[in-house]
Structure 1
Amino acid sequence: MLSLSHSFALVARSVSKTYTPLLHYSSRFQSTAATRVVVRSTSQGTFTNDVIVRNKHNLLADEPTDVGGQDVGPNPYDLLLSSLGACTNMTIMMYARRKKMPLSGVTTSLSHSKIYREDCETCANDGPVKTGAKIDKITRVIELQGQLSKLDRDRLLQIAGKCPVSETLRRQNDIVDSLSAQM
């Protein structure tokens, strides 16, 4: 999950300069080894949240103004796309360095939308689909910089799909919810 924390650090640069992160959090908001990210609502707005990563990196998450937020930070889907983009770039750069490919940089552009399952051209046929069911579609466009052969470029595109965040998003996941003990 190292790539996730790095992507939060990259996203943090875009947070409004007027935001001063809270430097001291009560121990109940401190993350532990098992809890790498803590997200806490703020009094700054209906949707504004402090995001604390490994007790080291702070940023704000928010919604755009057109849905009632203050737009002082990326929204949850922006953060998700940032994680995927950062992981993609890091994975490609690591592989290229290991294989001594002349890759000088990577830029990944991402977008998210909801589409009807029956309109998905790249989805596996998993059996009957409920009419009107929607799925999430993430589009990722990767720009490779450097004097790369077609073979290198094709291989790096394959490697992009193997980044850990990509693999996590493609798998069926288990999200376990619980309430903390009241204090």
Structure 2
Amino acid sequence: MAQAQQSVVVSENGLGPYQQTVRLGKHTLIADEPVSMGGEDAGPEPFDLLLAGLGACTSITLRMYAERKQWPLAGVSVALTHDQVVVEGGGKLDRIARTITLEGELTTEQRNSLLAIANKCPMHRTLQSDTRIDSMLTDCREVATAT
């Protein structure tokens, strides 16, 4: 799925208190917070973008696998929600509920295999792993000179 590594650049666009322009190669998206959080709901909120990535990765992975196996998968739909649940000891755990709808004349074995493959899609593996995020600051004067 992912080919050459390219930067995703997110920056404030000045069109709302929290509105962001998201640049991903030749694609541009808007991200924002809902009105209830002080935003203007001009685009998906960050968790929605995360869920969209997982849903797209799941669907694409299932399509690729079914094509490779020449299975009669007629359609895939993935519905996702995110919430937090209280765990023993009083902490909270992020939970993503993913409901996958498979269309086509698939056997029970094929459906079960596709569910297993969904749980191995790259985004699922990343979200389940111990991911390290390395953050650093740059001086805005350096960025201005670099462009």
Instruction: Give the partner amino acid of 2:138.
Output: S
Pairs within 5 Å for 1:37-116: 37-54=8-25, 56-116=26-86
- Cα deviation code 1:9-62 (max 9, x no counterpart): xxxxxxxxxxxxxxxxxxxxxxxx7542000011111110000002x0001000
Q: TM-score, normalised by structure 2?
A: 0.92
Percent identity (aligned): 45
Runs of 4+ in 1 over 6 A off after TM superposition: none
Mean alpha-carbon deviation: is it higher for 74-83 or for 109-118? Answer: 109-118
Pairs within 5 Å for 1:83-162: 83-118=53-88, 131-162=89-120
Matched residues, number: 141
Post-superposition offset of 1:182: 3.0
- Cα deviation code 1:57-107 (max 9, x no counterpart): 001000111111100100000000000000000000000000010001100
Instruction: Give the unaligned 5+ runs of structure 2.
Output: 142-147
Specify which structure has the bigger relative contact order, considering alpha-carbon pairs within 8 angstroms and separated by 6 or more residues. Answer: 1
Counterpart-to-counterpart distance in 2, 1:41 and 1:132:
36
Structure 1 residues 180 and 35, CA gap change in structure 2 (3 angstroms) = farther
* Helix, strand or coil at the partner of 2:112: helix
Counterpart-to-counterpart distance in 1, 2:22 and 2:86:
32
Aligned to 1:7: none
Aligned to 1:2: 2
Post-superposition offset of 1:116: 1.3
Counterpart-to-counterpart distance in 2, 1:50 and 1:62:
9
Instruction: Give the unaligned 5+ runs of structure 1.
Output: 4-32, 119-130
Counterpart-to-counterpart distance in 2, 1:96 and 1:34:
26
* Helix, strand or coil at the partner of 2:103: strand
Counterpart-to-counterpart distance in 2, 1:49 and 1:181:
20
Post-superposition offset of 1:150: 0.5
- Aligned-residue Cα RMSD (Å) equals 1.4
Asked whether 1:172 is paired with 2:130, we answer yes
